[in-house]
């Protein structure tokens, strides 16, 4: 969450005063933005997967795989959220990415990030608690309960990601 706020949120704004040059060039600017986003996405996604992998080594393999999947969905969503909100709160005059990442728009983005993470906790709380309860008491519970919550998170991730990427690109077209 913090990496995407620091690096993805200011992505559109950092085009700055040279924006008119980029927009007047015979290139598809949305494709250029997607390529730039892909670079940051791959780096942040890889770091998130590494953190998830090493923090779940002590758990059973099935639970670790579900955690990897949920971590991937969360990374995708948070990167998309930061990209979209960065487009909505674009400031083309600011050259310092750190100031952009601590602006009022970034604070609102961070608040939305916290709300999203709270939703994830609410969705995962009971299935994960039931899984550990059954393990501790020798009951046989299927990993499918956890995978069903991953499907809910996948649908949520698709909706949030699509919405915020579209909002970011749309707001960029309106700003120019």
pLDDT at 17 (0 to 100): 66
pLDDT at 42 (0 to 100): 95
Residue 82 DSSP one-character state: H
pLDDT at 63 (0 to 100): 83
pLDDT at 136 (0 to 100): 72
pLDDT at 15 (0 to 100): 72
List of residues 6+ apart from 24 with CB closer than 8 A: none
Residue 122 CA to residue 101 CA, distance in Å, equals 28
Cβ count within 10 A of residue 81 = 26
Q: Is 140 exposed, middle or buried (0-12, 13-18, 19+ CB in 10 A)?
A: exposed
pLDDT along the chain (176 residues), means of 10: 89 72 72 84 95 90 88 94 90 81 90 94 86 74 77 92 88 62
pLDDT at 161 (0 to 100): 93
Residue appearing with tokens 């915020």: 164
pLDDT at 18 (0 to 100): 66
List of residues 6+ apart from 102 with CB closer than 8 A: none
pLDDT at 32 (0 to 100): 77
pLDDT at 174 (0 to 100): 62
Measured CA to CA in angstroms, residue 65 lies from 45, 126, 136, 163 at distances of 16, 18, 20, 27
pLDDT at 140 (0 to 100): 67
pLDDT at 19 (0 to 100): 66
């Amino acid at each position: 969450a913090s990496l995407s706020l620091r690096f993805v949120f200011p992505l559109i704004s950092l085009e700055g005063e040279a924006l008119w040059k980029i927009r007047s060039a015979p290139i598809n600017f949305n494709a250029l933005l997607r390529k730039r986003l892909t670079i940051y996405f791959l780096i942040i996604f890889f770091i998130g997967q590494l953190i998830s992998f090493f923090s779940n080594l002590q758990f059973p393999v099935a639970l670790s795989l579900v955690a990897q999947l949920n971590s991937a969905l969360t990374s995708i969503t948070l990167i998309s959220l930061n990209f979209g909100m960065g487009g909505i709160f674009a400031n083309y005059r600011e050259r310092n990415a750190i100031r952009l990442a601590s602006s009022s728009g970034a604070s609102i983005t961070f608040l939305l990030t916290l709300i999203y993470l709270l939703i994830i906790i609410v969705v995962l709380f009971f299935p994960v608690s039931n899984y550990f309860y059954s393990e501790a008491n020798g009951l046989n519970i299927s990993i499918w309960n956890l995978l069903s919550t991953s499907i809910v998170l996948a649908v949520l991730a698709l909706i949030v990601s699509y919405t915020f990427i579209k909002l970011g690109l749309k707001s960029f077209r309106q700003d120019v």
